[in-house]
């Protein structure tokens, strides 16, 4: 199924290329290098690629992607896009930070953009796309704390890097905030925001790990788990599907995983959205209109760069007063009256 969808993407791409050449005027090409999760990971890389697809649809440009099989591919992949042909190159992922910086410095006339990395000082031909993910994850943690029956939540990450742990930070702080308000004692397993230690699979591609880690957390009593590891979380969703959602629910990350993982849609309580698609499209449009300027774009709750996905099948299960509190907290975060992790 994944292979098929991959080829479907490929053929769709070819169709788009043909369409592009028919409408002629646009010779603009956006290229993207994915991280190791792959273009069809139902989350991180797929969301970023959706930004390119949206731009293809809206402006009739051309789009290409290259998947990284391993961390050692980053530089090689960037290299093979360097022969011209790409008007803007989008790299997806914090781990590609060094490789992107090196390529950008070696090719000062090539426009780059990277998801999840901000350079300090800024590189003139790179736009960093970063996200205040902890804001949306805070809401997810608060929601989960209000929904749990065992009083135990779980989370785990792919690799201990800031763009991953920021989700886990937000979830823990959100649950703690719920405890503060309601005098409850909900605990979050898998992450300690003070010591920065927690559960990590060590990769962004093993669905088996996703299953095993969720099983461990479930065995420790967790009934809602948030995997922050790209496609690894699909393994956790498979476990929740088998156990039943009364036993285990999953919080998706990056994309609305109830939509990107439709077969398991019923296990997702919600998803912490990180709208890389809109920032990627924004960057492409900036490059097209010659307004491209090196620096940083930040996605927040306020500008809808991050948000909480609809509850879908759990729409009726979330109590109205909990939803009211969430709306209030969201407003509080936006106006600054609620500080996360304080």
Partner 1 sequence: MSDLSSINEQMRSLLARTARGRSEFEDLVVVPVFAVVVALIFGMLVMLATGVDIATIGKSFVALAKGSLGSVNALSETLTAAIPLVLAGLGLGLGFRAGLFNIGAEGQVLLGGTAAVIFGFTFHSLPFAVLMPLSLLAGAIVGGLYAAIAGALKAATGAHEVITTIMLNLISFKLLDYLLRQPYIQKEGRADPISKSVPDAAQLPRLLDWLDPNLRLHAGLFVMLAAVVLVWWILFRSKIGFAFRASGENPHAARYAGMKSGLVIVAAMGTAGALAGLAGASQVLGVLGRASPGFSADIGFDAIAVALLGRSHPLGILFAGILFGGLEAGGRQMQVDAGVSIDLIAIIQALIIVFIAAPLLVRAIFPWGFARKSKGGSEV
CA distance 253 to 302: 19
Work out how close the CB of 198 gets to partner 1 at its nearest, in angstroms, rounded to a whole number. 11
Q: Could you say which of 79, 184, 215, 323 contacts partner 1 (CB under 8 A)?
A: 79
The site map against partner 1 for 139-168 (x = CB under 8 A) is --------------------xxxx--x---
- Residue whose tokens read 């970063």: 130
Work out how close the CB of 65 gets to partner 1 at its nearest, in angstroms, rounded to a whole number. 8
- Residue whose tokens read 């397993």: 189
Nearer residue to partner 1 within complex by CB, 52 or 152: 52
Nearer residue to partner 1 within complex by CB, 4 or 22: 4
User: Does residue 206 interact with partner 1 by CB under 8 A?
Assistant: no
Stretch that binds partner 1, among 77-85, 225-233, 235-243, 312-320 (CB under 8 A): 77-85
Dihedrals φ, ψ of 156, to 5°?
Answer: -150, 160
Buried b (16+ CB within 10 A) or exposed e, 71-96: eebbbebbeebeeeebbbbbbbbbbb
Q: Could you say which of 3, 22, 24, 320 contacts partner 1 (CB under 8 A)?
A: 3
Work out how close the CB of 243 gets to partner 1 at its nearest, in angstroms, rounded to a whole number. 29
Nearer residue to partner 1 within complex by CB, 170 or 305: 170
Q: Could you say which of 22, 25, 72, 194 contacts partner 1 (CB under 8 A)?
A: 72
List helix spans (H) across the chain. 2-22, 44-59, 73-80, 97-106, 133-147, 162-182, 207-219, 232-243, 257-260, 276-288, 320-335
Buried b (16+ CB within 10 A) or exposed e, 110-121: bbbbbbbbbbee
Stretch (H or E) spanning 129: strand 126-131
Q: Which of residues 167-196 bind partner 1 (CB under 8 A)?
A: 196
Polymer length of the chain: 342
- Residue whose tokens read 């994850």: 137
Work out how close the CB of 67 gets to partner 1 at its nearest, in angstroms, rounded to a whole number. 6
Stretch that binds partner 1, among 52-60, 74-82, 125-133, 178-186 (CB under 8 A): 74-82
CA distance 227 to 261: 14
Integer distance in angstroms from the first to the last C-alpha of the chain? 45
User: Does residue 302 interact with partner 1 by CB under 8 A?
Assistant: no
Which DSSP string do the residues of 262-282 spell out, in sequence order?
Answer: GGGGGGEEEEEEE-HHHHHHH
Q: Which of residues 30-69 bind partner 1 (CB under 8 A)?
A: 31, 64-67, 69
Nearer residue to partner 1 within complex by CB, 39 or 269: 39
User: Does residue 250 interact with partner 1 by CB under 8 A?
Assistant: no
Q: Which of residues 86-115 bind partner 1 (CB under 8 A)?
A: 95, 106-107
Work out how close the CB of 233 gets to partner 1 at its nearest, in angstroms, rounded to a whole number. 19
Dihedrals φ, ψ of 335, to 5°?
Answer: -85, 0
Tell me which residues touch partner 1 (CB under 8 A). 3-4, 6-11, 13-14, 31, 64-67, 69-73, 75-77, 79-83, 95, 106-107, 159-162, 165, 196, 202-203
């Amino acid at each position: 199924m994944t292979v098929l969808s991959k080829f479907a993407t490929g053929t769709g791409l070819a169709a788009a290329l043909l369409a592009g050449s028919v409408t002629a005027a646009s010779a603009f090409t956006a290229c993207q290098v994915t991280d190791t999760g792959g273009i069809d990971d139902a989350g991180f890389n797929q969301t970023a690629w959706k930004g390119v697809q949206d731009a293809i649809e809206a402006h009739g440009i051309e789009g290409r992607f290259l998947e990284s099989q391993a961390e050692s591919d980053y530089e090689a992949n960037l290299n093979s896009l360097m022969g011209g042909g790409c008007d803007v190159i989008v790299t997806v992922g914090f781990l590609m930070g060094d490789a992107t910086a090196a390529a950008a410095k070696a090719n000062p006339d090539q426009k780059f953009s990277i998801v999840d990395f901000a350079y300090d000082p800024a590189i003139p031909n790179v736009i960093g796309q970063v996200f205040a993910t902890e804001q949306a994850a805070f809401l997810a943690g608060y929601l989960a704390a209000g929904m749990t029956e065992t009083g135990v939540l779980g989370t785990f990450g792919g690799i201990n890097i800031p763009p991953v742990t920021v989700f886990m930070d937000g979830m823990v702080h959100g649950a703690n905030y719920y405890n503060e308000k309601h005098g409850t004692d909900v605990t979050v397993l898998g992450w300690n925001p003070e010591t920065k230690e927690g559960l990590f699979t060590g990769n962004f591609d093993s669905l088996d790990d996703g299953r095993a880690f969720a099983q461990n957390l479930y065995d420790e009593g967790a009934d809602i788990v948030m995997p922050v590891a790209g496609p690894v979380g699909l393994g956790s969703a498979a476990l929740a599907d088998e156990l039943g959602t009364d036993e285990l629910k999953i919080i998706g990350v990056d994309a609305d995983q109830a939509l990107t993982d439709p077969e398991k849609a019923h296990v997702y309580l919600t998803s912490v959205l990180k709208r890389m698609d809109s920032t990627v499209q924004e960057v492409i449009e900036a490059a097209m209109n010659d307004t491209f300027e090196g620096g940083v774009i930040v996605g927040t709750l306020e500008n809808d760069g991050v948000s909480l996905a609809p509850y879908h099948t759990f729409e009726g299960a979330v109590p109205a007063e909990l939803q009211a509190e969430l709306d209030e907290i969201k407003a509080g975060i936006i106006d600054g009256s609620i500080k996360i992790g304080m």
